[in-house]
Amino acid sequence: MLFRLLADAVLLIHLAFIVFALFGGLFALRWRWAPLVHLPAAAWGFFVELTGRICPLTPLENALRARAGQVGYSGSFIEHYLLPLIYPAGLTRDVQSLLAGIVVLVNVAIYVWLFARRRR
């Protein structure tokens, strides 16, 4: 039971990290130091997607699930949990490149908007 809960916690942390990497620039509205935390997270998300790597949280979650007697999964977090919701086909390098581009575009748009807002 403990390992299952830990695996679920890793899953939630993983999802929170993805959301933060994508939209964390909005925290700069409230805290000027937020980009210091957000930009490395967004860069990591971009790097993982662009290079086709698997985030270290995925093997950790799988190991915890195995310790809990559950079956882990192959592939990445995005491929296992999010891709079936967004794209019915499997994860391809082209899709990963698209996701990397989305991370960059969303964050550039957020920071351009924030910069323009602060200049006013």
Q: Rounded to an integer, what distance in angstroms lies between the CA atom of residue 53 and that of residue 63?
A: 18
Is 60 exceeded by the pLDDT of residue 4? yes
In terms of Cα–Cα distance, which of 100, 104, 98 is closest to 25?
104
Gap between the terminal Cα atoms of the chain: 53
- This model's pTM is above 0.75: no
The domain limits of the chain are 2-119
pLDDT tens per residue across span 19-48? 898 899 889 888 989 999 999 999 998 888
Q: Rounded to an integer, what distance in angstroms lies between the CA atom of residue 118 and that of residue 64?
A: 45
Contacts of 45 (CB under 8 A, 6+ apart): 17, 18, 21, 22, 100, 103
pLDDT tens per residue across span 96-116? 788 788 888 988 998 899 888
